Structure 1
Amino acid sequence: MGMSVTISSADAQDAEHILKLQYLCYQSEAELYGDWSIEPLTQSLDALRAELAEGHGLVARLGDEVVTSVRAVADEDGTVRITRLMVHPRLRRHGLGGRLLDAIEQHFATTGHPEVPSAKRFRLDTGHRSEGNLRLYRRKGYEQVATRALGPRLTLVTLEKAA
């Protein structure tokens, strides 16, 4: 790919950059499903900051620009719920999403924090028409465990894999 991308933990100072990236990245999902009221496009900066404080987030930077991000939180049973894996549209199909997914899994597999249980499984959701997402998750070992209709245009697909 010829670029040096660095992955690091996200913090409150990254929140505004993540929110802008999120808005840009989820435009294609909104178009795919014909729904511009999806939560990633309406989330407030305060809500995003709260998510970062509750769980763990990662960003990938190309220079100073945040080009990829992911968030996750572990529950008391060891299930890590991964959300908002996003890659800047101009950098898709270069392996960055897979690298960030690996990095967030690795973080929770080796937390070393007594308040965060060891990951037993990783779980994530995507829309049924999001073929690129489904391909990536299946390639990374995730298997479909459930579906849930959220409306006439969207069925949420839940995928999971053991830690």
Structure 2
Amino acid sequence: MGISVTISAATEDDAEKILKLQYLCYQREAEIYGDYTIEPLTQTLDDLRAELSQGPVLVARLGEEVVGSVRGTVDQDGTASLAKLIVHPRMQRHGLGGRLLSAIEARLAEESAAKRYRLFTGHRSEGNLRLYRRNGYAPVGTEQVSRKLSLIMLEKEAAPQAFVTSA
């Protein structure tokens, strides 16, 4: 019998594992854009630890190994910003990215009543764009970061919260 992947809140003890996985996962993005100075590859462990306190950070575990992660925050207007959705290369194309995306959306809706979800990805990151579109995200804008990189902003509205009334 195999081990199944579980998704849970990250702990302080996960910070170094997340950072190592982030470094591994963003190599492909850096290669696509010819830029190995992108923020996910230059982020420090201290910066990541600070992010752990700013909003929910989820991890996907295969046994004790962290094989995926995603982060989120919500602003005053109810816009949830999702960031650094990563899945170990050997675990990609098995639905884990979609599971992490759904889990962070649910967590942000539950904890902060998010009204919409927003994320960014590079204009040449076709796999990411497919994943986000498949999960209901639509492009709403583009930001030119450098001569080589434009970020596409994608959004989707949060599902209306179901309210239960007692009789």
- Structure 1 length as normaliser, TM-score? 0.94
Q: Determine the C-alpha separation between the residues in 1 that align with 2:74 and 2:144.
A: 25
Q: How far did 1:110 drift? A: 1.3
Question: 2:133 is matched with which residue: 127, 138, 142?
Answer: 138
Q: How far did 1:76 drift? A: 1.1
> Which residue pairs with 1:161 in the alignment?
156
Counterparts of 1:34-73 in structure 2 under 5 Å?
A: 34-73=34-73
TM-superposition CA deviations, 1:19-42 (whole Å, max 9, x none)? 000000000000010000000000
> Which residue pairs with 1:6 in the alignment?
6
Q: Determine the C-alpha separation between the residues in 2 that align with 1:161 and 1:30.
A: 27
The AA in structure 1 aligned to 2:128 is: N
Q: How far did 1:11 drift? A: 1.7
Q: Determine the C-alpha separation between the residues in 2 that align with 1:56 and 1:46.
A: 17
User: Percent identity between the aligned chains?
Assistant: 66
> Which residue pairs with 2:86 in the alignment?
86
Paired residues in the alignment total 157
> Which residue pairs with 2:103 in the alignment?
103
Unmatched segments (≥5 aa) in structure 1: 112-116
Structure index of larger Rg = 2
RMSD of aligned alpha carbons: 0.8
Q: Determine the C-alpha separation between the residues in 1 that align with 2:113 and 2:14.
A: 26
Q: Determine the C-alpha separation between the residues in 1 that align with 2:119 and 2:3.
A: 28
